[in-house]
Amino acid sequence: MLLYTNNANNVFSVVLGIFEIVCIRRPHHGALRLTWTCVQCVHPVHTDFLPMNEPLPLLKKQPRAPKSGRTGTQDDIVYAHIFEAILEQRLAPGTKLSEEALGEIFGVSRTIIRRALSRLAHEGVVLLRPNRGAVVASPSVEEARQVFFARRLVEKAITELAVEHATPEQLAELRQMVSDERDSFSKGDRGAGIRLSGEFHLQLAVAAKNAPLISFQRSLVSQTSLIIAQYESGNRSHCSYDEHTQLIDAIEARDAKRAVQLMMHHMDHIDSKLNLDEDNASDDLHAVFSHLMLSKKKPGRVV
């Protein structure tokens, strides 16, 4: 805070933060004239006239407006944004998650970032490396197989419970999500379509009315998104919204057997688009370049 005075003219000014408060004492009028000026734009923003026998008002720090429409604590907001980016496959497996960069992006401290990353690590989508920072998880082929095995079990239980507990309002919400998913893919917004597809399964877990399953499903859906981003091969087209619609119809008809069959078919469809053949890749340099080894037995230069 800087204070400037001019007693001859009964003027003093105070620079406080980005504001300069200029006070002009008017003895004959019995009042003080206060002008609040933003020193960054050099324009008066407010003027007050106060009786001289009243104390000067305090300049209160205004709360900072949130940067998005999300609600919750700061680490809730950071967590939600990173989780959404993973669902939309905008964060590739292996991406380094710098605390400093994320702190600047979200305007929060590293402590907030660490709490959000810790929650994501608990769900298996972020890897916390001692002394090297956090990265988006890169599931191995074996880990991918384990995730899909677990997800099949969870999806079967969720589907059976949803048939029993889903309300008409929840089914209508699921249908709206399918409509939004279809619109996203038709507009070429693949990221939003993938996120909505994942959120459909999360909402289905909510309709099942089983809290532990909701927690399991949240972790499995986000890990599945990473696996698809890492191992999807061939045609990247998506027709999950048609399968989702058929599933809703079976749940609405309270046909548990058909609903479970449709869900397992849906999981088979997702699985079929993945290349989890470990024989296609290797970390053995001799195996990778074995076709060149014969050249050593023949004259000439390897090209």
pLDDT at 204: 97
Contact 47, 34 (CB under 8 A): yes
The segments of the chain whose pLDDT lies below 50 read: 1-22, 24-68, 279-283, 288-289, 301-303
pLDDT in tens, 263-294: 999 999 989 888 887 544 444 555 544 555 55
pLDDT in tens, 72-83: 789 899 999 999
pLDDT at 202: 96
Q: How far is CA 60 from CA 39, 51, 57, 88, 196, in A?
A: 17, 20, 9, 41, 43
Write down the pTM of the prediction.
0.65
In DSSP notation, 70-123 reads --S-HHHHHHHHHHHHHHTT-S-TT-EE-HHHHHHHHT--HHHHHHHHHHHHHT
Contact 27, 51 (CB under 8 A): no
pLDDT at 7: 47
pLDDT at 9: 47
In DSSP notation, 14-67 reads EEETTEEEEEEEETTTTEEEEEEEETTTTEEEEEEEEETTSPPPP-PPPPPPPS
Query: How far is the C-alpha of 76 from the C-alpha of 60, rounded, in Å?
Result: 27
Query: How far is the C-alpha of 21 from the C-alpha of 11, rounded, in Å?
Result: 11
pLDDT at 119: 94
Query: How far is the C-alpha of 92 from the C-alpha of 239, rounded, in Å?
Result: 23
